[in-house]
Amino acid sequence: MFELRHENLHGHEVGYRLAGEGETILLIHGMAGSSRTWREVMPQLAERYRVLAPDLLGHGESAKPMGDYSLGAHASGLRDLLGRLDIERATIVGQSLGGGVAMQLAYQHPEVCERLVLVSSGGLGRDVSWMLRFLSLPGAEFVLPIIAPRLVRERGNQVSRWLRDHGVRAPHIAEMWLAYASLTEAENRQAFVKTLRAVVDASGQTVSALDRLYLTSVLPTLIIWGDEDPVIPVSHAHTAHELMPGSRLEIYEGVGHFPQVEAPEQFVDALFDFLGSTTPASPDLRQYQQLLATRG
């Protein structure tokens, strides 16, 4: 149903998964992730909507060119993918790094955004896990081959299969393992470091959307977070909610950084309720001009 497909954009292969009919939901994964992170929720979402889940450049089965891995570049790439697939507008759902990309897409290209859903999103404060800050340091590209060798990936995959076969479910650990395992490939490591350094340094997150969140007052917005997120603290969700007029906030107890795999049923129910009870935004340049004038 969600087999991986490919499109060539600007000379680079972009992997994506697409299924369902109706209004489009665009699912954007996080750092060192891929479209696979949505595997638990895509089938249910596709029963009512058309669901598009791409692999960002530098991730998954998409190309890993030596190029720009900024939020703006990712946002423009997604705008172009939507155009290639003849999709005019979508509800934009972004998790972690994908949340930062989603906000940038809504800011740069509001004409394609009907609603915004931020899941454990980056770009809403300085705090971030010490590991990501460490890996942003100069020389990290030389350390990664040592801490992420292929041998460890192979042994880890064996352990993962054993746990799965014996009914042990640890979705947060499994998702973190997928991200770690991807770094055992040289081209993945290069793309990861470039992506990470575009948004994080030793002191924390370096890209913030906080000063522009007032622009989302014209865009129905849902914020989803786990109260035990070890990567980006849940306090960022509360800050964003206060700065985004009319936004909805969902905090999941006992959930970490990946609500879509740790609490998939709760996640799908929240998304269905949000989509069913809100009206898609329509692009209106005058509204943005008026909002910008209020903050002049």
Q: In this prediction, what percent of the chain has a pLDDT beyond 70? A: 88
| pLDDT for 176 beyond 80 | no
257 is an active site residue: yes
Residue 158 banded pLDDT, cuts 50, 70, 90:
very low
End-to-end CA distance of the chain: 49
| pLDDT score, position 175 | 75
Q: In Å, what is the CA distance from 115 to each residue of 83, 95, 183?
A: 18, 15, 33
Taking only the tens place, the pLDDT of each residue in 182-196 is 777 888 889 999 999
Query: Phi, psi at residue 25, to the nearest 5°?
Result: -115, 120
- Mean pLDDT (the chain) is 88
Mean predicted confidence (pLDDT) in 268-296: 86
Taking only the tens place, the pLDDT of each residue in 256-276 is 999 999 999 999 999 999 999
CATH homologous superfamily for 5-127+207-294?
A: Alpha/Beta hydrolase fold, catalytic domain (3.40.50.1820)
Mean predicted confidence (pLDDT) in 146-163: 50
What residues are paired with 109 via a beta bridge? none
Tell me the domain boundaries of the chain: 5-127+207-294
Mean predicted confidence (pLDDT) in 32-37: 93
Q: In Å, what is the CA distance from 287 to each residue of 104, 144, 203, 281, 284?
A: 18, 46, 36, 11, 6
| pLDDT for 157 beyond 60 | no
Least confident of 122-131, 165-174, 213-222, 260-269: 165-174
Token output for 184? 């055992």
| pLDDT score, position 51 | 98
68 is an active site residue: no
Taking only the tens place, the pLDDT of each residue in 87-103 is 999 999 999 999 999 99
Any alpha helices (H) in the chain, and if so which ranges?
A: 42-45, 71-84, 97-108, 130-135, 140-147, 150-165, 171-182, 186-197, 235-243, 259-262, 264-277, 285-294
| pLDDT score, position 127 | 97
> From the candidates 59, 74, 172, 257, which is the catalytic residue?
257
* pTM for this predicted structure: 0.91
| pLDDT for 148 beyond 60 | no
> From the candidates 182, 229, 236, 241, which is the catalytic residue?
229
> From the candidates 70, 96, 120, 182, which is the catalytic residue?
96
Q: In Å, what is the CA distance from 16 to each residue of 27, 72, 123, 135?
A: 10, 19, 24, 28
In the chain, count of helices (H) and strands (E)?
A: 12, 10
229 is an active site residue: yes
| pLDDT for 164 beyond 60 | no
Least confident of 26-30, 74-78, 138-142: 138-142
Q: What is the DSSP letter of 219?
A: S
Residue 127, CB-side half-sphere exposure with 13 Å CA sphere = 11
